[in-house]
Amino acid sequence: MVLKDHLYKQRLRDFCLAQQHSSLQTIALAIKDAEQEAAEYGAPKDRYDGFRNQQSRKRNMLATQYGLTENNIRVLKMLQINRSFDKVAPGALVITNNKCFFIAVGLGMIRFEGEEVAVISAQVPVYQLMKDKKCGDSFMFNGETLTITALI
């Protein structure tokens, strides 16, 4: 088991940032490809040109993903990693008897330093279950009782 402290949380945040920067690059390339395909296709054949509309929708969807990823990066950078927590709040690393949660952005379950960590936002239901709880407090999640053993 990996020692979880402020340095662990810093490495976890840096790992999440690296993942988001990588996603940003991938999305940017996909946007460029969609734009290039539309340009190579030529002028619209008519106003209901299916391929051109499909490429436009794809580019818009990717642009939305790009914006969400940029926002994730902004939120991750704003977290005060060295701050100590006495109750569950955004920025906290919540260690329970069975799971580890990082309250940051909604990335889901990730594999980090050989362990599973749930990287969640403050908008998800499980956060609402643990919000403002302290070390020693318990909450039910998916039919399982989780007890908070540490807050970092």
End-to-end Cα, the chain, rounded Å: 16
pLDDT, residue 48, reads 65
As a whole number of angstroms, the distance between CA 101 and CA 110 comes to: 10
As a whole number of angstroms, the distance between CA 106 and CA 20 comes to: 11
As a whole number of angstroms, the distance between CA 150 and CA 152 comes to: 7
As a whole number of angstroms, the distance between CA 57 and CA 12 comes to: 34
The CA radius of gyration of the chain, in Å to the nearest whole number, is: 20
Name residue, tokens 């994730």: 72
Tell me, yes or no, if the pTM score tops 0.85.
yes
As a whole number of angstroms, the distance between CA 109 and CA 100 comes to: 10
pLDDT in tens, 21-49: 999 999 999 999 988 887 787 666 666 66
